[in-house]
Amino acid sequence: MSHCASYRNYYEDNPKHGLKPRGNIARRPTNGVFALENSVEISQRRRIGYDPANKELVILPLHRTDEENCVRYYHGFVIDELAQLKGRQHIINAAKKAGYQLPKK
C-alpha cells in the first residue's frame, strides 16, 4: 500500500523514441514536459497531452512509479497520423473532449 496521498508527474525521454519515427516506433515530443503538464488522464497508466506551439498530440505512458518519493515518471511519443490511433477511439474521444487538435492525416 502506498503512503502517497498524491503524486508529482515527471517527464523523461525514452531512448526508444528518437527525433524521427522509425518503422512502427513514433518520434518523441519536442517538449514532453509541456505536454505532460497540460495532459489529461485517459487510463490508469496513460495520459494524453497537446503542445500547441509544436502542434503535437502526445501519448504519455506511465514508465515507472517511485512510491517512496511519490513521483510518477512518464515518457511520450507523438501521434503524427490519425491512422496511428486506429482502433483506439477512447484516445480520440479524450483528445476531442480536452480540445486537442487531432492530426489531419
Q: How many residues does the chain have?
A: 105
Structural domain includes residue 94? yes
Mean pLDDT for the stretch of residues 47-75: 96
Domain contains 1 = no
Cβ distance 102 to 59 under 8 Å? no
Question: What pLDDT is stored for residue 1 in this prediction?
Answer: 59
Which domain covers residue 71, as residue numbers? 8-98
pLDDT for the residue 18: 80
32, pLDDT greater than 70: yes
DSSP 22: B
Looking at the domain assignment, is residue 3 inside a domain? no
Residues 77, 26: contact at Cβ < 8 Å?
yes
Whether residue 105 lies inside any domain: the answer is no
Q: 96 — phi, psi (to 5°)?
A: -65, -45
Residue 91 located in a structural domain: yes
User: What pLDDT is attached to residue 19?
Assistant: 82
104 within some domain: no
Overall number of domains in the chain: 1
